[in-house]
Amino acid sequence: MMMLRLAAAWASVAAFLLFGDTVLGLLGAPLPSLLVFSWLLGIIIWSSFGVVHEAEDLAERLGEPYGTLILTLSIVIIEVALVGAVMLGAKGAPTLGRDTMFAVLMIVLNGVVGIGLLIGGLRHFQQRYNLKGASSYLAVIIPLTVIPLFLPNFTTSTPDGTLTSFQAIAFSIFTVALYGAFLALQTGRHSMFFREPDEDGKPIPTVNEGGEPVSPTSAGEVLPRVGLLLANILPIVILSKGLAAVLDFGIAKLGAPAALGGILIAMVVFTPECIAALRAITSNQLQRAVNLCLGAAASTLGMTVPAVLLIGVFTGQPVVLGLSATNMVIAAMTLLLSTLTFTGTRTTMLEGAVHLAVFFVFLVLVFSP
């Protein structure tokens, strides 16, 4: 299956590189447009599952938090590639980065967390996780959300939720520095915060069956898996430009809400990771799901914000990051609920139901603002 997936992905890349202009020229007719969209979407989603498979294999070899971190960063690289392709191709998508980041926050922090906690509560009654790890994620997510998505609505240098070039560069540097500091702590002195806790809430160290610390995985075991991971990511990045063109054409043709483009990108990119998180919750591995969900939110903001802002600075395109008043309310409520949900050491179905209710409100407001 793995080799078949890779062969299909790279064959699609070769076909698109050779005949891409001809294929995209067929977008005017309904049936060819649907076929092109289905082809690109199917290959990208299939390859995304390949990314998840290879990242999970690395997770087993390296342990937490490295496994989920590799998966999350791989998925966000794909997201940044898709957003960048749309922005550079359409030359008229000033809100796409904002819409995608907001959609990721809603899907991950409300949709996946809500469904996951409901399933976990039904199967396991209560589930425990490492409180210090979740608190660390939220400490980073809150400023990374408020500063780029709220603050532009209240600055006076520019109108309509945009930033000046100086502000964009300064915010990009701040975002990269903060997220980089978090990654250094997550993989360094505070790595124990992101591992499964024992019954007393203390992190469980990685040991073998004899109780001895697990020996480091050799480079010879890891490098081939990293190569396969990259081999699954690259076709997605290359094909993202074609999918971006189809999405832009389809949304304009249907007269759909502009925010739908960001939601579709978020759904396409994060579906495999969301499935991995739900599987972890079903297996009573809530800490792994927390690492995936909160890690996805943190990495999306930490990598997409500077990418979108720098594209705007270097191309001269306007980039609107400030959320609408309605979405600011939903985002603030999501951050508050996430803080309340992850202030204890165990979760129940009630938290899941509340997050899911907020997610449904978000979906309603997309089509009926």
DSSP codes, 77-134: HHHHHHHHHHHHHHS--TTHHHHHHHHHHHIIIIIIHHHHHHHHHHHHSSEE--HHHH
For residue 147, how many other CB atoms are within 10 A of its CB?
17
Euclidean distance between CA atoms 246 and 27, whole angstroms: 7
Tens of pLDDT, residue by residue, the chain (369 residues): 677 888 888 888 888 878 777 777 767 666 777 787 788 878 887 887 777 777 777 767 776 667 677 777 777 887 787 777 777 765 567 888 888 889 889 998 999 888 888 888 787 777 777 778 788 889 999 999 999 999 999 988 888 888 999 999 999 999 999 999 988 888 877 778 777 765 554 545 544 334 444 445 555 567 777 788 778 878 877 777 677 677 767 777 777 776 777 787 777 777 777 877 888 888 878 788 888 888 888 988 998 899 999 988 888 888 899 999 999 999 999 999 999 888 876 777 888 899 999 999 999 988 887
Within 8 A by CB and 6+ apart from 205, the residues are: 192, 195, 213
Retrieve residue 108's tokens.
């991950």
- One-letter amino acid identity for 139? A
HSE of 158 in the Cβ direction (CA atoms, 13 Å)? 16
**What is the third-level CATH fold of 2-205+220-364?**
A middle domain of Talin 1 (1.20.1420)
Euclidean distance between CA atoms 314 and 229, whole angstroms: 30
Retrieve residue 131's tokens.
């409180």
The answer to whether residues 323 and 102 touch, using CB atoms and an 8 Å cutoff, is yes
- Nearest CA to 117 out of 364, 353, 360, 366 is that of 353
The predicted model scores a pTM of 0.80
C-alpha distances in angstroms, 208 versus 28, 211, 212, 255? Answer: 59, 5, 6, 57
Residues in the chain: 369
Strand partners, 203: 197
> In 3-state terms, what secondary structure has residue 155?
coil
For residues 221, 225, 230 and 233, what is the CA-based torsion angle, rounded to 10 degrees?
-160
H/E stretch holding 361: helix 349-367
Q: Break the chain into its structural domains and give their ranges.
A: 2-205+220-364
Euclidean distance between CA atoms 162 and 143, whole angstroms: 18
